[in-house]
């Protein structure tokens, strides 16, 4: 989950700024039924404090014990855990005999490494796409990438590798609604950063202090205005679920000006067709540009209830995110 990864890097930065050496681990490959996907991050310090997850509990305790006994002293090294590993076998067997390949960085406090972490944090927030070049035994270096659409997460070349670091996937929801509440919860569990914008102060106030929504960002603002005034990355999905043309139409027009990978609005086929005619009449967008809008939104699974509709919407967004 990229939001968790961002929190890992922010924790790593905080510890490094406190003059605490850290061990930063990145999942490179998984084989079998490993719980975490490539790119997942984990940080630990010499006192056994840690943040993040490598395996859902199978590896973490063993990893921390090895730090205490003098392992992982290289600036960067590759470590393999699991049944097929000749290096380390975790005290708890990975599910289904899985194997996890890690990059472990031992980072000591310095201005250079603080800038290094800040640069990766900025990339996860959507400012740049980075290529992280690793020559094992040395500190990794970072370089901004301009054309990164087809870059895989990892390119492995024996004793060196390149990793691609890019922003986490964000779901922007225009307006609070029953369907939107379920979309918020599903998206959060799927690892999306979630932003909800609504200009109704009371609606925002009622939700933003609820513990179940502690990871959701609520903004008291008109949704289209937020989109127009902020940098929206290609890792963002924008949806409007209000049935209010004042919100839905303006949100769609603002969204079409962005590189968002998914744009959608709720409504029946008839209402969606009427909306499309309104957008054509009040903008200069071509039919091809307007076709970016998913409307009616969601996969056609016969959904009826708000939860089912939200499930169909999130399934469609995940499908688009994964290039299917």
| The predicted structure's pLDDT at residue 87 | 58
Question: In the predicted model, what is the mean pLDDT of residues 56-78?
Answer: 89
Rounded to whole angstroms, the Cα distance separating 54 from 41 reads: 7
Terminal C-alpha separation, the chain: 20
How far are the Cα atoms of 53, 84, 99, 272 from residue 106, in angstroms, in the given order? 17, 25, 22, 54
d(CA 186, CA 173): 13
pTM value?
0.66
Segment 121-149, tens digit of pLDDT: 988 877 678 999 999 999 999 999 876 66
Alpha helix positions (H), the chain: 2-17, 60-68, 111-124, 178-189, 201-208, 223-229, 245-255, 269-281, 287-290, 306-321
Thinking of the domain 170-321, which architecture would CATH place it in? 3-Layer(aba) Sandwich (3.40)
| Residue 150, pLDDT above cutoff 70 | no
**pLDDT at residue 84 in the model:** 57
- Nearest-angstrom CA–CA distance, 176 and 298: 18
Chain segment 243-253, per-residue pLDDT in tens: 899 999 999 99
Mean pLDDT for the chain? 89
Q: Cα–Cα distance between 38 and 31 in angstroms, integer? A: 10
213, pLDDT greater than 90: no
Q: Where are the domains of the chain?
A: 2-165, 170-321
Cβ partners under 8 Å of residue 110, min gap 6 = none
The pLDDT tens digits of the residues spanning 155-202 come to 988 889 999 988 778 999 999 999 999 999 999 888 888 999 999 999
Q: pLDDT exceeding 70 applies to what percent of the chain?
A: 90
């Amino acid at each position: 989950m990229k939001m968790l990864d961002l929190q890992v890097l922010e924790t790593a930065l905080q510890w490094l700024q406190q003059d605490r050496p850290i061990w930063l681990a990145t999942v490179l490959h998984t084989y079998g039924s490993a719980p975490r996907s490539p790119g997942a991050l984990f940080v630990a310090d010499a006192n056994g404090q840690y943040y993040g997850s490598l395996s859902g509990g199978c590896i973490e305790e063993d990893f921390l014990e090895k730090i205490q006994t003098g392992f992982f002293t290289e600036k960067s090294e590759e470590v393999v855990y699991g049944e097929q590993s000749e290096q380390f076998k975790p005290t708890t067997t990975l599910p289904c005999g899985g194997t996890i390949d890690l990059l472990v960085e031992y980072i000591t406090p310095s201005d250079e490494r603080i800038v290094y972490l800040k640069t990766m944090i900025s990339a996860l927030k959507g400012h740049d796409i980075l290529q992280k070049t690793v020559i094992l035994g040395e500190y990794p270096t970072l370089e901004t990438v301009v054309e990164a659409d087809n870059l895989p997460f990892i390119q492995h070349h024996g004793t060196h590798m390149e990793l691609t670091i890019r922003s986490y996937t964000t779901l922007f929801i225009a307006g609070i609604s029953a369907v939107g509440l379920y979309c918020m919860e599903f998206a959060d569990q799927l690892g999306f950063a979630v932003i909800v914008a609504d200009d109704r102060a009371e609606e925002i106030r009622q939700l933003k202090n609820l513990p179940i929504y502690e990871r959701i960002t609520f903004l008291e603002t008109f949704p289209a205005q937020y989109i127009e005034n902020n940098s929206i990355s290609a890792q963002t999905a924008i949806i409007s679920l209000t049935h209010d043309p004042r919100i839905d139409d303006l949100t769609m027009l603002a969204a079409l000006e962005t590189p968002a990978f998914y744009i959608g609005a709720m409504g029946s086929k008839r209402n969606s067709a009427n909306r499309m005619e309104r957008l054509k009449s009040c903008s200069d967008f071509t039919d091809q540009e307007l076709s970016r809008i998913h409307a009616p939104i969601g996969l056609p699974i016969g959904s009826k209830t708000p939860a089912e509709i939200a499930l169909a919407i999130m399934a469609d967004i995940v499908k688009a995110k994964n290039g299917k």
